[in-house]
Structure 1
């Protein structure tokens, strides 16, 4: 530890000539001189991440890494986060925990103490592909020539079929060539849109079309949205009867039936499946759909689909990303840089990438990559401590045994049950003639209620209240226990099971999670809350973000929100104001990060396993814990959290640190990954009394 401090102090001494701020602190000039000194700029990340469902794609990660290397003068800014003062970064370190997933992190949340307390920014990752490493640094995985020949010339393909393969005449090959191209190369030009009769401003018959006015700069990482519309025939021609919109990850954003204003002459049921009976109760109109699209689609959205020209005509939408397309054509240099890999970016600056791994060396054939293959994770760790300070960009890959499929399914279902039990409270006893509607109103004021159920096993009535978010259940425990309600003094408590035995500890640790620091949960808000908040902004000077959850289908604002502040003290002051007599709201410190809420919604309560495979919960986990104590995932999580902590503290200030748990994928299913990121600050280098466990 002393040696680490010496090295850190040595680094500070070396950096002193370039840092007037450091010299000022040592010499200790008078306060009036300090006031005139401009504060040194530091690289920093935005307060919140601008992502759908809190998921960041591998392509978006690559976008951020390239920006961290080259900066805004060479590549477009990342679309999902802000990296300010990029030039102040000293180096970049990416830790890949291969074999781990988001399930690992939240199943063993208490064991990952350092990661949850240090890294404020956390986000979900999609399930990994076989080329995960190549995806995040923007490389195309090389295909084996031998396997290609076997595919084309194998005995299963006849000579007649081989002779018919003429790729040169393929229209896709003729337009785009043989090489993989980015999204920006596939966009329709304005001339192509005219040729295929897309609705454009100024075109005849399109006077009543709305203009999207999307002017976002499109990059290869811009989000794709699949659009499909069904139509009917009216006296005005084809009109919209159904719209579907999905993200590139397969998440359905819109699936709505739409009733035309004019009388329908032909429902086109044989093509659409829509009948008069289906459309009769529908009240949604075209203008509602247009408004919804404007709210949902980001400025750099790109639509894909079959017969998009017809879809946009029935939606009566014109000018979709045309300005953005023009901006693309005017900025050829940035577009070219957007296609570059991280290796190419480093090469353009005369720098190399360091890759440490114990697996097969996937990057060994690239001249701009210094690769070191190690025999174990322990050797990777040792090499990282020596080599990482010498390179501006590092990828350090540790390999872990993924969960066996049955074990993973058991843990996933256990997590779902645990979170449901933690978000459920039992209230009572009530009188037998109590007003259930009034009770529901009281408990709903604390947050969104999933269900209220009468408990039948008790003599006097008790109710089970399951909330959608953990904060609401915790608020019910803290504010309703011992209160007088409907003429009864009630108790509010959780069910105690094996899964909730340490619930109080887990809640406390969630509250202290770095992502939740300075964030408060507020319940009982109305539709005008945001406007009222902005009008009274002088009361909340350190407010950085307002997160207003909405219903997925109706897009109606829910009755709670999260407010993020610069400091914990500012958050506590705001909480007291909002709970006061002027606002009369209820709230507490936040417990659940956004990405965790999104992930929990995707966990299915029933195991998604093939028929014939039997799960015996929870004995399997106990058995594995007894028979494999040393290598049990819980022990591995605890041990490696501390080893990464030690390695992190050896990094120099100004290091952009990215930790990736890629997720897992096999024949039985997939588990999404988790990303954590942070820029290490000066004060973290010589932290006294850091608890570090020696390598074993």
Structure 2
């Protein structure tokens, strides 16, 4: 019988058509159905973030982003803390910044961040800073020879030099002085020459006229129009229409169902897939009617090769500006829009108006992902230009998102921190008993110490019979004690083992289960009962017989620096970890019987919990009480907002092109009201599975 492997939480047979070869064939079939080209090579991440030293600075993060965007061909250095294999095949880099949020927020609302914790396998603690983006890009001390100045992507055209633009037809025709809007509109003859649909033309029978006949002035409203097309049995047909005003505000972003049978979705250029169009009911006449109603009678349309868009829309509009004709190279050859954006506008992350690849994440792409809100912005900051001067537009973008400041304000940080700290303390705590009077406490400590490092142990005498309260240092130890020692005979008594019964612990079982199933814990097991005299070398030798063992992490006491009596083992394959669990549990190493279970907390989380539970949390009684009261009033609403945010990021991630590096950053909080470390999550989008890891 074929073994089952877990893919995206679903069990599938490891052999036959659903194995690696089967998944590859399925992916090829999907690409063929979507009209894609040959199979692309996949990039993958390998990050050494399992141990305690997984706190990454802004400089280190910058190093990663620079290498991902530029690669070796532009002298960018492979970061020491993370390796990107097949970097040259990356389709692009997307960074999502969740302002005013920290590692604290991620684990407080862990159950709500359902998508983030299931997709992003690589996580790291992020050093907080007062101005995160400035620290990330402006704070990197780059030597001139190491910057990206003057570099373009391999195989792409060169960005036009300023001297080329000085000789450009628009400069020669209009001079360098700025002119009014009407100076740049195409004449009727120019429209005819460049195949624009003209009213009364024999080839435009059945076309819809916008009826925008009012006299144009330099103050007439300007609108940017862009369409995406697919190839059908009838020819080229519209699949998406986008309209923005002069301020970049998205007015229309609609998917359109073509009339003909689709032959090629042209996903590589349009970002449109079969899955996106399946539920769409909007047809071209619906769009024509909406556009006709939306455009004022003196509207001017602007676009890049706008004639193609109007032909596809089967619409006629009398006043147009075509940027592909305004800026033309020698012999009439045209510049691509992304090069004009860099050379003329001087920035990288422009709002997408015409046919860019969807990875640029213009406002229309964000709108379709549910992210185009008033509190969302696309960065085109100078700090980004200085850091990645000439990275092609389609390869790097930043999406910034902020929840309402009322919900994540710094003055609520102390209350939130105290609430999370209290819950984690309860999860690390167990109550053991009852015991007979005069029981041997040393025996209890020895037995429960085999489950993991104990932080504190106290006798509770307020109950009818004595009990013992034990607080562990790692979640796995407390859970192992509950699972393996409940009902056991210890110190001459048959005991019960349970966690505290508090309001904060009502969802503890659900939380433990979700932590165990977290993608970050795949292939990782926890081993306890080690003698403290064992060194890391001893343990590596002892566990060397285990198949596919990749990493051994031996936690240290952060104050004394001494090893604890537990370790974590990470395996290359999940099944190897399952097999190792069966072997290790009950295994004797130098006279010590081992206990093991699936991991619950990785290195960064283990260290964070350890630090939180050693902070005194003293804020002044009245102040803390008021903040906790404020937090309780807002927490329910915040939970809903975080869940919605996770859903938005899920839609954004799904819209990304395959082989895109996506980095989600909780920058952390560093202010007078408190400081909390940030959190980074990484994955490379892979249509054949969760992510390439």
- Normalised to the residue count of structure 2, the TM-score between the two structures is 0.59
Give the Å deviation of 1:112: 0.3
Specify the alignment match of 1:122 in structure 2. 123
Specify the alignment match of 1:93 in structure 2. 94
Secondary structure, aligned partner of 1:391: helix
Of 485, 495, 502, which aligns to 1:497?
502
Tell me, in whole angstroms, the C-alpha distance in 2 between the residues paired with 1:439 and 1:57.
43
Give the Å deviation of 1:477: 0.3
Specify the alignment match of 1:671 in structure 2. 676
Q: Runs of 5+ in structure 2 lacking a partner? A: 1-25, 160-246, 250-341, 354-361, 373-377, 379-391
Q: Which aligned runs of 4 or more in structure 1 are off by greater than 4 angstroms?
A: 5-15, 50-53, 343-352, 363-366, 377-380, 383-390, 604-612
2:396 maps to 1:393: yes
Give the Å deviation of 1:404: 2.9
Specify the alignment match of 1:139 in structure 2. 138
Indicate conservation of the 8 Å contact 2:48/2:81, yes or no. no
Specify the alignment match of 2:76 in structure 1. 75
Tell me, in whole angstroms, the C-alpha distance in 2 between the residues paired with 1:70 and 1:602.
37
Indicate conservation of the 8 Å contact 1:94/1:660, yes or no. yes
Indicate conservation of the 8 Å contact 2:55/2:604, yes or no. yes
Q: Runs of 5+ in structure 1 lacking a partner? A: 20-40, 141-180, 183-219, 221-334, 687-696
Name the CA shift for 1:505/1:386 in 2 (closer, same or farther; >3 Å).
Answer: closer
Tell me, in whole angstroms, the C-alpha distance in 1 between the residues paired with 2:133 and 2:67.
18
Secondary structure, aligned partner of 1:682: coil
Specify the alignment match of 2:625 in structure 1. 615
Give the Å deviation of 1:528: 3.4
Specify the alignment match of 1:477 in structure 2. 482
Tell me, in whole angstroms, the C-alpha distance in 1 between the residues paired with 2:668 and 2:460.
40
Tell me, in whole angstroms, the C-alpha distance in 2 between the residues paired with 1:415 and 1:365.
50
Specify the alignment match of 1:106 in structure 2. 107
2:553 maps to 1:547: yes
Moved more, 396-405 or 560-569: 396-405
Indicate conservation of the 8 Å contact 1:50/1:80, yes or no. no
Tell me, in whole angstroms, the C-alpha distance in 1 between the residues paired with 2:85 and 2:426.
41
Name the CA shift for 1:446/1:381 in 2 (closer, same or farther; >3 Å).
Answer: same
2:673 maps to 1:652: no
2:346 maps to 1:367: yes
Name the CA shift for 1:493/1:553 in 2 (closer, same or farther; >3 Å).
Answer: closer
Query: Alpha-carbon deviations, 1:107-150, whole Å to 9, x = none?
Result: 111000110111111111122332x22433x336xxxxxxxxxx
Name the CA shift for 1:684/1:460 in 2 (closer, same or farther; >3 Å).
Answer: same
Query: Alpha-carbon deviations, 1:175-216, whole Å to 9, x = none?
Result: xxxxxx93xxxxxxxxxxxxxxxxxxxxxxxxxxxxxxxxxx
Secondary structure, aligned partner of 1:676: strand
After the TM superposition, which residues 579-594 of structure 1 pair with which residues of structure 2 at under 5 Å, given as runs?
A: 579-583=585-589, 584-594=593-603
Moved more, 81-90 or 482-491: 81-90
2:62 maps to 1:62: yes
Alpha-carbon RMSD across the aligned residues, in angstroms, is 3.8
Tell me, in whole angstroms, the C-alpha distance in 1 between the residues paired with 2:621 and 2:153.
51
Give the Å deviation of 1:444: 0.9
After the TM superposition, which residues 167-186 of structure 1 pair with which residues of structure 2 at under 5 Å, given as runs?
A: 182=141
After the TM superposition, which residues 441-480 of structure 1 pair with which residues of structure 2 at under 5 Å, given as runs?
A: 441-480=446-485
After the TM superposition, which residues 484-633 of structure 1 pair with which residues of structure 2 at under 5 Å, given as runs?
A: 484-526=489-531, 527-528=533-534, 530-535=536-541, 539-583=545-589, 584-603=593-612, 605-607=615-617, 609=619, 613-616=623-626, 618-625=628-635, 632-633=637-638
Give the Å deviation of 1:552: 2.9
Indicate conservation of the 8 Å contact 1:53/1:598, yes or no. no
Name the CA shift for 1:13/1:379 in 2 (closer, same or farther; >3 Å).
Answer: closer
Give the Å deviation of 1:517: 1.0
Aligned residue pair count: 454
Name the CA shift for 1:587/1:683 in 2 (closer, same or farther; >3 Å).
Answer: same
After the TM superposition, which residues 328-339 of structure 1 pair with which residues of structure 2 at under 5 Å, given as runs?
A: 337-338=145-146
Tell me, in whole angstroms, the C-alpha distance in 2 between the residues paired with 1:674 and 1:457.
42
Secondary structure, aligned partner of 2:56: coil
Query: Alpha-carbon deviations, 1:310-350, whole Å to 9, x = none?
Result: xxxxxxxxxxxxxxxxxxxxxxxxx7554x26x76557976
The higher radius of gyration belongs to: 2
Specify the alignment match of 1:17 in structure 2. 38
Give the Å deviation of 1:619: 3.5
Tell me, in whole angstroms, the C-alpha distance in 1 between the residues paired with 2:42 and 2:642.
32
Give the Å deviation of 1:99: 2.4
Secondary structure, aligned partner of 2:579: helix
Secondary structure, aligned partner of 2:563: coil
Specify the alignment match of 1:177 in structure 2. none
Indicate conservation of the 8 Å contact 2:123/2:680, yes or no. yes
Name the CA shift for 1:378/1:499 in 2 (closer, same or farther; >3 Å).
Answer: farther
2:688 maps to 1:683: yes
Indicate conservation of the 8 Å contact 1:123/1:595, yes or no. yes
Tell me, in whole angstroms, the C-alpha distance in 1 between the residues paired with 2:478 and 2:690.
39
Tell me, in whole angstroms, the C-alpha distance in 1 between the residues paired with 2:439 and 2:158.
73
Tell me, in whole angstroms, the C-alpha distance in 2 between the residues paired with 1:684 and 1:580.
35
Tell me, in whole angstroms, the C-alpha distance in 2 between the residues paired with 1:44 and 1:86.
8
Name the CA shift for 1:614/1:432 in 2 (closer, same or farther; >3 Å).
Answer: closer
2:454 maps to 1:421: no
Tell me, in whole angstroms, the C-alpha distance in 2 between the residues paired with 1:637 and 1:386.
13
